[in-house]
Amino acid sequence: MTVDTEQATTLRNTVMDQLRADGVLVTPEVEAAMRKVPRHAFAPEAPLEKVYEPYAAVVTKTDEYGVQISSVSAPQIQAMMLEQAKLQPGMRVLEVGSGGLNAAYMAELVGDGGEVTTVDIDPEVTERGRRLLDEQGYKSVRVVTADAAEPIPGLGEVDVIMVTAGAWDVPAAWLDQLAPEGRLVVPLRMRGLTRSVAFVRRGGHLESESAKICGFVPMQGATAHEVKLLLVAGSPEIGLRFDDGIPIEPSQLDNAVTTPRVELWTGVTIGRGELLDTLQMHLAIGLPGFCIMVLDKELDSGIVAPTNPGFSLAAVENDSFGYVVYRRTADGENSEFGVHALGAHAQQLAEEMAQQLRTWEASRRGGPSPVIRVYPANTSDDQVHGDRVIDKVHCRISLSWPTH
């Protein structure tokens, strides 16, 4: 068993104090569990200072290209999702993604009368998780090596499913294994945006209770999904990432980069530190050709001038594409949103995107997140309600704004 040194205890309590002050830790039960379990015991490869950074994950496995494929999530993310899960003593829980630490937290929360099963597709991950859980005395946690997109043998119904890997799809098995009024907490990717969504089962579908910005290592197995990348004019300099297929013929943008860049400023300003989660979702719902633009800085020729080269909210329409930018206001205290667009109809697209920004300011800013619903893939159109419907392989997801 890993020794819980005085330094580790001090670091852990400092992290929990900060998360409580930041409003991430809310309930005393979650706080007690996270103070009790020695986080460093589940990331023995990393220095203590790295393990106990409140907003940083610890990478535990990479592929042959150095891409992160398994990690111990940041304390902030784990606390946020545990709060969303609302675990109670005696509950039966399934975790998808088996780092070990989160399963230990859940075992503390459900107590001796509850059950925790953790599953991962990678045998190296489950072997490591089993060993670390055993070393810390959590032998009652069941560790399974399997593709969680399929039903887990012998599991039966569970009260909570928590997914600790980024999911593009929601397989039928998760809904089938969830008890009536049960909860699914999952980092779900929709139109290129990831949210940790707490769903509650409502009969034959799921309905969101909360959705929070997050980032996760993507799922492997049957629900793995590759984004589609459109290279503007065939050059890797400018890439447009589409999560659900490219909505135009790629050749339509071949001449867009030869046109003058339209720049339009909106008068919509934001203050420092203001969350942009509803803005991102508003554009994802309102713009049919929504995507994410990325710029290879080594190849940058000045055709585009994004504020954030690695992640710009963008859209395509016919032969044109546009992206959101911002600039500091004269007083230096705020930033103003604008739109850059290129293509034969760049002015029209820029005005449409600018109007979406103004609509967000007028009706969505500071308001609740959209309601997210998950339906089985075979659900007919008349039974799916939402402002934007996204068809996945195993489900249909709808996004709609609350009426109040």
Catalytic residues, by residue number, are 73
- Our CA dihedral for 41, 81, 175, 280, rounded to 10 degrees, sits at -130
- Contact between 85 and 79 (Cβ < 8 Å): no
Structure tokens at 167: 């999911």
**In the block, which residue shows the tokens 């990325």?**
294
Distances 212 to 198, 319, 374, 397 between C-alpha atoms, Å: 9, 34, 17, 17
Q: In 204-331, at which residue ranges do the beta strands (DSSP E only) sit?
A: 205-213, 228-231, 238-242, 262-271, 290-295, 312-317, 320-328
Q: In 31-110, at which residue ranges do the beta strands (DSSP E only) sit?
A: 58-62, 68-72, 92-96
Q: Is 53 exposed, middle or buried (0-12, 13-18, 19+ CB in 10 A)?
A: middle
CA angle 174, 32, 167 (to 5 degrees): 25
